[in-house]
Amino acid sequence: MARRVALSCMSPEEVRAWLQQTRAALLRKMQRERAYLERRARRGVWTPTDEAYEADQELEADLLVLLDEMEQGLEGMF
């Protein structure tokens, strides 16, 4: 994966594209983790890793809100 350019070096259009791509990737990650946790719960399995993934889901949801807020902040830049 290529390292991204600093946000300060991107145009508003590039920042918006990065935000949208990052949001989509984060949503896919969250869906994979949720499916994993649900499969394990159906089998009655719960480990410290599952607990960490559950906590990650909360952090990831907060990051989605942050990405949305950042994109909304771009509205006045066009």
Q: What percent of the chain has pLDDT over 70?
A: 95
Residue 11 backbone phi and psi in degrees, to 5: -75, 165
Enumerate helices (H) and strands (E) in the chain, giving the number of each.
2, 0
pLDDT digits (tens, 9 = 90+) for 30-60: 999 999 999 999 999 999 999 999 999 999 9
CA atoms of 75 and 17, how far apart (whole Å) = 13
Q: Looking at residue 22, what is its pLDDT?
A: 96
pTM: 0.85
Mean pLDDT, range 16-38, rounded to an integer: 96
Quick one: 19 exposed, middle or buried, by C-beta within 10 A (0-12, 13-18, 19+)? buried
Mean pLDDT, range 14-43, rounded to an integer: 96
